[in-house]
Amino acid sequence: MSHQFSEKRNKEVEKSRLRAAVFNEPAILVNLGSLYQPSMDAASLHEITRSLLKVNGKRAKKTRLVCAVYQGFIKEVYVVTCWLKPHFWSSYEFEGEAAPEELREKYVGRSVSSYWGWASRAPLKFAVYVSKGKERRS
């Protein structure tokens, strides 16, 4: 990575902290990594997000939102309609659709970079959310 590029990226991350996502309900953040392509269509983005999500059922069933994340920014938000347990995995996957415009405006483009430390490779994180004035874990 060139010095100029990394300096530009650092400025973007610093600026984005002013626009950090604040969750009011449980959410799962899925890091898309190198699978994300800016040119991908909505169906592909949805399928990749579902395929990367490997989560235990007890925690999953408490969660209504799943966010597709690339380079610390939310690219899409999905509302979970149900959780399914595939036959060959011990984890769950979600059925759902893109969130309504109200939720998309609230989260898409917002930063969640604070959830991933430098060089973190974890594919997913459970968002901390605020409920009744207290911080809670998803």
| 120-136 residue pLDDT tens | 666 778 776 665 555 66
pTM above threshold 0.85: no
Q: What is the pLDDT of residue 63?
A: 87
Q: Are 74 and 110 in contact (CB under 8 A)?
A: yes
Q: Describe the chain by its helix, strand, coil percentages, rounded to 5.
A: 35, 35, 35
Strand partners, 130: 135
Average pLDDT over residues 94-120: 87
For residue 91, pLDDT beyond 50 = yes
- Nearest to residue 88, comparing CAs of 48, 54, 59? 54
For residue 76, pLDDT beyond 50 = yes
Q: What is the pLDDT of residue 40?
A: 92
- Nearest to residue 31, comparing CAs of 116, 118, 127, 117? 116
